[in-house]
Amino acid sequence: MALIEIKHLKKYFNTAGGTLHAVDDVTLSIEKSKTLGVVGESGCGKSTLGRTIIHLTPPTAGEILYNGENITNQSPKAFKKLRVGMQMIFQDPYASLDPRMSVFQLIAEPIQTYKMAGSRQALERRVGELMDTVGIAARLKNSYPHELDGGRRQRIGIARALSVNPDFIVCDEPVSALDVSIQAQVLNLLQDLQEERKLTYMFITHDMSVVKHISDEICVMYLGQVVEKCASRELFKKPLHPYSQALLSAIPVPNIHIEKKKIEMKGELTSPIDPKPCCRFAPRCPYAGPVCFEQQPELKCCGNEHYVMCHQVKENSES
Ligand SMILES: Nc1ncnc2c1ncn2[C@@H]1O[C@H](COP(=O)(O)OP(=O)(O)O)[C@@H](O)[C@H]1O
Ligand SMILES: [Mg+2]
């Protein structure tokens, strides 16, 4: 069963230059205890999508369902109850942690805000358990974020998200700011936690190699739209959208004996402000024909729960 379903979700921003379509008609669902990877270049709307789903910002249009219940227009007060179920882990743990608070205070804060510990003793015990769960040594209880490395700071972010026992977590580039050596440790922690606690993740990243192992399903975003959606295995085996093919071809191959052809994308990312009703990837696409510049493609199913938004996809999928 789906824990999260979103239907035709839009989030527009009014800017001096016009209406910016940050998220433009996105429909997707995330099964309980599974991970949906969301990939795409910087600025394609990944964070806005995650923030809108968990009500950090209101949608312009569309519906958000949580456990089958439509929560789109919940008042902030009614949403406070749901907030404990839906949490977010941010890219830059340093920017998202108050530098004046100690490790203990940072992890205790959400528990206190939602009154989830009855006494000081219970609070101390709960924070101790959480530190243990995310692998921060008890002796660091009174340390401050600037005294810790990036991996430990992200572990605090994870402990804060877990502290209120959520079932859904939006992980927004949680390892992008970390050294490669530490990335794997944090990813393993997230996977262990998912298994133990049956967590449902939306895992946002611009890095295809990170998303491969952690995701059950993947959405590829381009300028506010989901242009391809399928099982992770399927995407890495048979990417259909020219943009996904280009992203995948850009992953470095560790084996120097395998030659890999990098698909070049032409031109620049077009603007998400007042986009024309045509394929948004067309100006950069090596396969684009006239129809691509004239008509918005539909997200169509090509079998195997594999969805793609491309006028040329038949030709490409057979090649
Ligand atoms: N509060 C805001 N006001 C105006 N534009 C915004 C705001 N937040 C995000 N955007 C714009 O929305 C688009 C998507 O941004 P974002 O969701 O942060 O992308 P990503 O996370 O994929 O890098 C970008 O063009 C960004 O400039
Ligand atoms: Mg982002």
Residue closest by Cα to atom 10 of ligand 1 = 22
SS3 state of residue 147: helix
pTM for this entry: 0.93
Q: What is the pLDDT of residue 82?
A: 82
Question: Comparing C-alpha atoms, which of 225, 196, 190 is closest to residue 211?
Answer: 190
Please list, residue by residue across 131-160, b when 16 or more beta carbons sit within 10 angstroms of its beta carbon and e when fewer do: bebbbbeeebbebbbeebebbbbbbbbbbb
Instruction: Supply the residue whose CA is at minimum distance from atom 6 of ligand 1.
Output: 13
Q: In the prediction, which pLDDT does 5 show?
A: 98
Which positions of the chain have pLDDT values less than 50?
315-319
Q: Which residue's structure tokens are 């993947």?
A: 218
What is the model's pLDDT at position 258?
A: 58
**CB atoms inside a 10 Å sphere around CB 84:** 16
Cα of 44 to ligand 2 centre, how many Å?
Answer: 8
Looking at the DSSP assignment, which residues form a beta bridge with residue 114? none
Q: Give distance in angstroms: CA of 150 to centre of ligand 2.
A: 18
At residue 318, the pLDDT reads: 44
> What values do phi and psi take at 305, rounded to 5?
55, 30
Q: Are 228 and 62 in contact (CB under 8 A)?
A: no
At 270 the pLDDT is: 83
- Return mean pLDDT, the chain: 92
What is the Cα–Cα distance from 192 to 41, expressed in whole angstroms?
28
| Cα(291)–Cα(289) distance, integer angstroms | 6
- Give the per-residue pLDDT at 260: 63
| Per-residue pLDDT, 314 | 77
Taking a C-beta distance cutoff of 8 angstroms, is the pair 35, 216 a contact? yes
Residue 319 has a pLDDT of 40
> What is the CA(90)–ligand 2 centre distance, in A?
9
The ligand 1 site (C-beta within 6 Å) comprises: 13, 15, 20, 22, 40, 42-48, 272
β-sheet with 69-70: strand ranges across: 18-31, 2-15, 61-66, 69-70
